[in-house]
Structure 1
Amino acid sequence: MNDDRDGGRRLSTQEAARLLGVKPATVYAYVSRGQLSSRRDTVGRGSSFDAAEVEALARRTRREAAAPAGDLSVRTSLTLIESDRYYYRGVDAVDLASHYPYEEVAEWLWTGTIPRGARFTAPPEALAAARRAVDALPEHSGPVDRLRVAVAAAAVVDPLRFDLSEEAVLGSARCLVPTLVGSLPVLGAEPWAGDGRTARQLWPRLTAHAPDPDALDVLDLALGLLVDHDLAASTLAVRVAASARAHPYAAVSAGLGVLEGPLHGAAGRLAHRMLTEVLERGGAAPVVAEYLRAGRRVPGLGHRLYRGEDPRAAALFTRLEGLTQAAGALGAAREVAAVMARQGAGLQANVDLALAVLTVSCGMPAEAGEMVFAVARTAGWIAHALEEYQERPLRMRPSGQYQGARPPQPMP
């Protein structure tokens, strides 16, 4: 061990290897992966390492080694879920989304502050590129198809996308969300350019119905409630991408790729179709019976993280009661839950069922809930990418449990 001229302790390769409990070659592997920094030793012929950095890596390695096998645990300060409630940075998420618009909820998750009156603006060049890319897709393209293409197009025109500093990532995030919304085709009247709220810009891309203030408030609440929900499958994909130091656009693309899976993003679409059928047939019992007879799961009910009702659903249902046009769909949703309760299933409404009430009652297509979810969650994915950029790179590298034939095997 020697002292650096700047006052920091330096370790030789052998000393660092002993402290880490690895071979010297592994120390250099840590350097190549960005987990350690090295400096050529001016006295000897090898490299030297900052002692504090080596000790910190040794502590992390010991903690990870002590974790139960197969247990992937990710440190986060963003969302806590416990006792049938969830919190953004320690603040009740339902209360936060009920009192602040989506943009300010996103800022709270990103920075821990709420700049009042926050608005997001799409850069003209990025928006034009995203619209050209989306317009080139076939008509049958789904909402996630369009958003994935829009993200890729926006990334190409952002020369700062590889800058992973917090300031640069936040700048990209504030431009990406409105670019995604602005790239989607308009179904109704063009939104008023003077209103930069995400909900107002998204509305005419979800329905041809004219917006009313109460319905817009419900949409804005839904966006705020869906910003983040701990480590859902799509969020974990974002963390893995960010761990490899993918830029924020690529990290969001990873989340959208997982969201397109039928077990993650399609739930709102299924709930929408079920509610439509209940309204057409005049009752929930025959519809639920057909689902059960076919061995299919009734959509919009139950959540593995909540024993009772999903708090996001409860908040949306409360707000939807104030919408005259939502009365029919709201009644249908409650009837579905009541029928299932009589079956003793113990499943209560989740946010997908509440979103379906909004989309059905406002004349939106079945995929509208998926669009709302993807736009809202983009802000949460960025927040998780920001956190992951502060961790050591490539830390999410589980080991496979090989089940194949043992070597040596004959050459095929």
Structure 2
Amino acid sequence: MTDQGARDFDTGTGERLSTRETAALLGVKPETVYAYVSRGQLSSVRAPGGRGSTFDADEVRALARRTGRRDPLPAGGADLVFRTGITLIDQDRYYYRGVDAGELALHHGYEEVAEWLWTGELRPGVRFSAPPQALTAARQAVAALPAHSGTTDRLRVAVVAAAAADPLRFDLSPASVLDAARGLIPTLVGALLPAAGAPADRVPASGAPVGDVGRTGTGPAGPGIAARLWPALTARPVGAASLAVLDTALALLIDHDLAASTLAVRVAASAHAHPYAVVSAGLGALEGPLHGAASGLAHRMLREVVERGGAAPVVADHLRTGRRIPGLGHRLYDGEDPRARVLFALLEDVPEAASALAAARDVVSTAARHVPLHANVDLALAVLSVSEAMPAEAGETVFAVARTAGWIAHALEEYAERPLRLRPRGQYTGPPPPQALPSPVISSIASSAPESRSGNAR
């Protein structure tokens, strides 16, 4: 059968593609297409006459969007496309275990969504508690850092301290990993210093009850993670509408498929690193300027737009100096980032956010005048941080705390896979062997030493 004949073959499920067309769309070799089939990532149907197979076009396009691949898998290399039941990104929406993530985040708090992602069970009103010994160790370690240390520095140190306080950290059974995760996240939040001017005891880190501040801070279960995180972000009093934005942002940011930090986490988990080390790997990758720090750039730009009264001069400055405009565009979405769409709608109910929200929309409309660009979640986080007098790094802090739950979910998946499977093969580009032994370089320090290496110096 010709390729066109394969395209015309219809089993009632929609457009069908031949093996060659599928390989071209995915940017891989035909044999790799069948590797995807063997891994359960594609389904195939034998073409009439038994010559070749056909593939559902929508399924192939969805796989292409998930993988973002345009080159073949290396022969004999590691798994570069991972099986995952956590997050699906498809057609400008994304789903946690098949449930629309935006809808889930609007109706359930951060801890509830984390439990859903970890276990597939929804536990209304669940709250995480920090183990006292881990929290004390983390706070002491953070307090020893220089005053100029950033939030990510504090989080990294807090993870190490919490790990040292947990003698059972090497137990990688799902129950033990989840127990560690439920204690680690509030430990990280409790170890952060209060924002300048914020009362140190505004929201207890231990989870003790506080006044009614909405879905994240009422009832005998005590405050949620969002309520406990708030005083580390700003000295302003917490309001129900603003807290709902923060809690929803945390839930929306829990996972986003295989971002750079999540890939680092899966590599660490593949080596059976304990969950604290896994989170440390994620935090290390997150600190890159092209990942977690992107929200800080959006914050600074948006604050400048508010101060200057319009986006045009700020956008012009960015373009004139060759800088990209932060907070716009996402490689996985053709339209608006669904996380930004949810947060912008909630920010409408925050009176303090009115000017920053208008500035964000001005940025979008100004920048998209000639090229269609859409807001991403960094711009939405910037609206919250600017309007609530948070520092520029607040978005990165929210991102790091939120994504810790997602990193744990990916670690749980990776622990169940073949160990050390994530071992890619390098393509050597150095001088061809065999090369002569290099000549030693004698430094001025070595030449002036009173005794040579062959002497009797002790």
User: Same-fold call, TM > 0.5?
Assistant: yes
Alignment-derived partner of residue 347 in structure 1: 373
Alignment-derived partner of residue 89 in structure 2: 81
Alpha-carbon distance between aligned partners in 2 of 1:140 and 1:235, rounded to the nearest angstrom: 28
Alpha-carbon distance between aligned partners in 2 of 1:196 and 1:387, rounded to the nearest angstrom: 29
Kept in 2: contact 1:148–1:253 (CA 8 A):
yes
Kept in 2: contact 1:273–1:366 (CA 8 A):
yes
**Is 1:129 matched with 2:137?**
yes
Any gaps of 5 or more consecutive residues in structure 2?
A: 1-34, 41-70, 210-221, 439-458
**Is 1:261 matched with 2:288?**
yes
Alpha-carbon distance between aligned partners in 2 of 1:359 and 1:223, rounded to the nearest angstrom: 14
Map 1:324-343 onto structure 2 (within 5 A): 324-342=351-369
Map 1:58-73 onto structure 2 (within 5 A): 68-70=72-74, 72-73=80-81
Map 1:46-195 onto structure 2 (within 5 A): 68-70=72-74, 72-187=80-195, 188-189=198-199, 190-192=202-204, 193-194=208-209, 195=222
Map 1:292-371 onto structure 2 (within 5 A): 292-342=319-369, 344-371=370-397
**By how many angstroms is 1:69 displaced?**
2.4
Alignment-derived partner of residue 447 in structure 2: none
Alpha-carbon distance between aligned partners in 2 of 1:410 and 1:186, rounded to the nearest angstrom: 60
**Aligned partner of residue 87 in structure 1, secondary structure:** strand
Q: Single out whichever of 69-78 and 126-135 deviates more from structure 2.
A: 69-78
* Equivalent residue pairs, number: 350
Alpha-carbon distance between aligned partners in 2 of 1:377 and 1:87, rounded to the nearest angstrom: 15
For 2:391, the aligned partner's letter is P
For 1:83, the aligned partner's letter is Q
Alpha-carbon distance between aligned partners in 2 of 1:403 and 1:119, rounded to the nearest angstrom: 52
**Aligned partner of residue 425 in structure 2, secondary structure:** coil
For 2:396, the aligned partner's letter is E
- If the length of structure 2 is used for normalisation, what is the TM-score? 0.75
Alignment-derived partner of residue 231 in structure 2: 204
Alignment-derived partner of residue 309 in structure 2: 282
Kept in 2: contact 1:326–1:357 (CA 8 A):
yes
**Is 1:395 matched with 2:418?**
no
For 2:156, the aligned partner's letter is R
For 2:107, the aligned partner's letter is H
Q: Deviations over 1:263-303 (max 9, x none)?
A: 10111100000011001111100000000000000000000
**By how many angstroms is 1:63 displaced?**
5.9
**Aligned partner of residue 86 in structure 1, secondary structure:** strand
Alignment-derived partner of residue 406 in structure 2: 380
For 1:130, the aligned partner's letter is A
Q: Single out whichever of 162-171 and 185-194 deviates more from structure 2.
A: 185-194
Bigger relative contact order, structure 1 or 2 (CA pairs below 8 A, ≥6 apart)? 1
For 1:191, the aligned partner's letter is V
Alpha-carbon distance between aligned partners in 1 of 2:289 and 2:425, rounded to the nearest angstrom: 27
Cα RMSD after superposing both structures: 1.5
Alignment-derived partner of residue 245 in structure 2: 218
**Aligned partner of residue 221 in structure 1, secondary structure:** helix
- If the length of structure 1 is used for normalisation, what is the TM-score? 0.83
Q: Deviations over 1:184-223 (max 9, x none)?
A: 0012132153133000000000000000111111100000
Q: Deviations over 1:336-393 (max 9, x none)?
A: 0000111x22210000000000000011110000000000000000000000000000
Flag as ranges the 4+ runs of structure 1 deviating above 2 A: 67-71
Map 1:31-42 onto structure 2 (within 5 A): none
For 1:68, the aligned partner's letter is P
Out of 298, 301, 311, which is 1:271 matched to?
298
Alpha-carbon distance between aligned partners in 2 of 1:144 and 1:222, rounded to the nearest angstrom: 18
For 1:105, the aligned partner's letter is V
Alpha-carbon distance between aligned partners in 2 of 1:106 and 1:196, rounded to the nearest angstrom: 16
Kept in 2: contact 1:120–1:196 (CA 8 A):
no
Alpha-carbon distance between aligned partners in 2 of 1:284 and 1:116, rounded to the nearest angstrom: 42
Alignment-derived partner of residue 27 in structure 1: none
